Chain A
Amino acid sequence: KQEVTQIPAALSVPEGENLVLNCSFTDSAIYNLQWFRQDPGKGLTSLLLIQSSQREQTSGRLNASLDKSSGRSTLYIAASQPGDSATYLCAVRSGGGADGLTFGKGTHLIIQP
């Protein structure tokens, strides 16, 4: 059964810092990995999708990498801003009968002004 772990569970940094959020998964046989952002009381916003054949994806100040063989992904946020404060969720799609996304518990990020 696929399990997804996110470290750290919470992170607080001053504005302007570059930061890295980590995600690991136990079964490397994935189809893709998706990073989401969730604001309090809101839905999930898709940030980046990395297919299993890809190594990284970039969108603005966000860069996500994938090392499928080691079961790891990182989300890099450059020049953090207070508006980046949210919970960041990592999810993998494994197939093999488990066709939905398996989520980690998330990293709660606070960017201090």
Chain B
Amino acid sequence: DAGVIQSPRHEVTEMGQEVTLRCKPISGHNSLFWYRQTMMRGLELLIYFNNNVPIDDSGMPEDRFSAKMPNASFSTLKIQPSEPRDSAVYFCASSLSGLWAEAFFGQGTRLTVV
């Protein structure tokens, strides 16, 4: 398996534009996580899906952020409208179901909002 695949790797956009980040989890993994990494706050969980259903979205910072998982092999994180403070590296991770499972991370998307 190629691991967790994220696209794009880098995104530069202007303030106010819509941004969509994409993630393909490892085949067979039922849990998917979106994280955001900044220098100030480190890695923070944004949202967690299990079997395509959002279980915990308490980390989503504002209504400008939304995430979907239409099927077991694809998820999106959308920011609309984007703001400069959204600039960060966004990671997607997946694991088997179960709290004992090991998590595997993608390479991340570096988002810059100017």
Contact = CB atoms under 8 A, between A and B. Distances in A.
A76 interface: no
Contacts of A106: 42
A46 B104 contact: yes
Contacts of B35: 100
15 contacts: A43-B91, A43-B105, A43-B106, A43-B107, A46-B102, A46-B104, A51-B100, A91-B43, A91-B103, A98-B56, A99-B55, A99-B56, A100-B59, A103-B43, A103-B44
Interface string A81-113: 000000001010101011111111110000000
Contacts of A61: none
B13 to A, nearest CB: 19
B107 A42 contact: yes
A101 B41 CA distance: 15
A70 to B, nearest CB: 21
Contacts, number: 58
B60 interface: no
A42 B59 CA distance: 23
Interface in A58-88: none
B100 A100 contact: no
Interface in B34-73: 35, 42-45, 48, 50, 55-56, 59
Shortest Cβ-Cβ A-B pairs, 7 listed: A100-B45, A31-B99, A44-B105, A43-B107, A103-B43, A49-B102, A105-B42
A44 B4 CA distance: 11
A105 B44 CA distance: 10
A28 B21 CA distance: 34
Contacts of B45: 100-102
Contacts of B48: 99-100
A37 B24 CA distance: 21
Contacts of B91: 43-44
A45 B93 CA distance: 11
A101 B100 contact: no
A34 interface: yes
